[in-house]
Amino acid sequence: MSDDDDNARDDALITLLPSLHVFNDRNMRFLLRCLADSSSAPLGGGIGATVPAVLQSLKRATHTATFTHYKRVLGDEIRRDKQRWSSLAADAVALERQMDDFYVPVYIYLNNVLDQHIATTSSSITNKRPLFVGISAPQGCGKTTLTELLRVLFESDGRRCLSVSLDDFYLTGAAQDAVAQAHPANPLLQYRGNAGTHDMPLVEATLAALAAATPGGPVRVPQYDKALRGGRGDRVPDDRWLALAAPPDVVLFEGWMLGFDPSGDDDEAERARRQAVLAARPGLAEVDGELRRYRALHEAFDAWLVVAVEDEHSLSRSPAFHPSTAAAAADSSSADRVERRPAGVGAVFRWRLQAETAMRAVGRPGLSDAQVADFVERFMPAYELYLPTLYRRGPERRGGDPAVPVLTVTVDNNRHPVSSTLVGAGGSDVPQSRL
């Protein structure tokens, strides 16, 4: 490789950095992990140069003390509360990988997004709202763990972080029973989980209160206990809700169905696919209609993190497949075309079973194995209908604004990241690549 080629790669990387809001060496590590690709895939945004050699040298140069510090913060937290983090503490090697490849890089990225948010709102008297980040991930893939560890890291940097779950906005037990009784023929509304089982006015009121929060004006955030009512769950009394004494700097709002887009604004192929799923899944059309009430929630987010589950049969395992565009598969000939199923949701049952088993192991009432199977099956129609769309075009962004950043991290069946895509930061798209 000539010096001219090396310079071209360097220029391409330098051109890309400002659009990703990466301005210092501690944030470089995450960019490098996003872009490092042993197959030398080209950068996006029209840049044709490849950067593996540059990335390798920069990775060595940017393995900073700051990155090590964040790993130490997480390690101290996990050792401090071994019972809470027992699943992480049980495998030191896996934990090291997750901190290196997932927890710390994602934090560095989001911390940078928060820096940009503060910079754009610090001069405003009326617009000093927290950064709202939507985190979408299938059940059991580790989104709650990720969110809580991100909170630990934000607070270690002196930033107030609130972790909120869509699950905390489920209807009360009595209200959920009423929904089930009102829709006796719909199996998807007999239990909490799908669109139509959340208290959306409460969601919107809570987000509005958080956006307008001021020092000394406490905001109360509802809490939900899934162990109540024999594992069917219920909202806890409001005197046990979380009370914030000071406004947060960042709100991490996670949920299994965040970013799901109701049917309607689809191209012909997508419309046909969705109609087929809706026809095959009893009760799903009613859930799809309810999903329109969740758009106000999606509009609240300033940035998105989507954790996708790799399908063991996905073409993303093939080095010949360039996953930066869905057209790579669609444009292939019928002889070698393989249907890409981007959601490996077969792992959801196993992950959910692990969670319920752990709950029972510490003496908390949880679902039986048979109940877990029934519970998870209620979500499969929604996964089938919405995940292909979410993974193909991303979540609906506020006002359709392409500048709202969306980071997608794909994990394998062991919850370890295998690839990532960043779109919307500065209007640029970075191709998905192996981490």
What is the SS3 string spanning 161-207? Answer: EEEEEHHHHECCHHHHHHHHHHCCCCHHHCCCCCCCCECHHHHHHHH
Backbone angles phi, psi at 357, to 5 degrees: -65, -40
Q: Residue 305: name the closest of 123, 106, 15, 166 by CA.
A: 106
Task: Say which amino acid occupies 396.
Answer: E
Q: Provide the 3-class DSSP secondary structure of residue 73.
A: helix
Could you give the C-alpha distances from 426 to 20, 115, 137, 216, in angstroms and in order? Answer: 6, 14, 24, 35
Helices 369-377, 346-361: crossing angle, 10 deg rounding? 140
Confidence of residue 67 (pLDDT cuts 50, 70, 90): confident
Residue 269 to residue 210: CA distance in whole angstroms: 40
Confidence of residue 154 (pLDDT cuts 50, 70, 90): very high
Could you give the C-alpha distances from 96 to 75, 103, 316, in angstroms and in order? Answer: 9, 10, 25
Confidence of residue 369 (pLDDT cuts 50, 70, 90): confident
Q: Comparing 40 with 309, which gets the higher pLDDT?
A: 309
Over residues 73-103, the pLDDT tens digits come to: 999 999 998 888 888 888 889 999 898 888 9
What ranges do the domains of the chain cover?
A: 98-434
CA 337 to chain centre: 29
Other beta carbons within 10 angstroms of residue 225's beta carbon come to: 13
Average pLDDT, the chain: 76
Other beta carbons within 10 angstroms of residue 215's beta carbon come to: 8
Answer whether 407's CB lies under 8 Å from 394's CB. Answer: no
Residue 69 to residue 274: CA distance in whole angstroms: 47
Tokens 């510090």 belong to: 69
Residue 119 to residue 294: CA distance in whole angstroms: 29
Q: Residue 53: name the closest of 116, 19, 4, 9 by CA.
A: 9
Residue 274 to residue 73: CA distance in whole angstroms: 45
Q: Provide the 3-class DSSP secondary structure of residue 242.
A: strand
DSSP 52-67: HHHHHHHHHHT--HHH
pLDDT beyond 50 at 341: no
The CA angle 177-178-184, to the nearest 5 degrees, is 85
Other beta carbons within 10 angstroms of residue 358's beta carbon come to: 13
Q: Residue 204: name the closest of 134, 135, 305, 294 by CA.
A: 294
> Measured in Å, how far apart are the chain's first and last C-alpha atoms?
24
Q: What's the pLDDT at 19? A: 40
pLDDT (average), residues 274-285: 93
Confidence of residue 8 (pLDDT cuts 50, 70, 90): low
Confidence of residue 183 (pLDDT cuts 50, 70, 90): very high
CA 345 to chain centre: 15
Answer whether 161's CB lies under 8 Å from 250's CB. Answer: yes
| Model pTM above 0.85 | no
Task: Say which amino acid occupies 218.
Answer: P
Q: Provide the 3-class DSSP secondary structure of residue 429.
A: strand
To the question of domain 98-434 being in CATH 3.40.50.1820, the answer is no
Answer whether 261's CB lies under 8 Å from 390's CB. Answer: yes
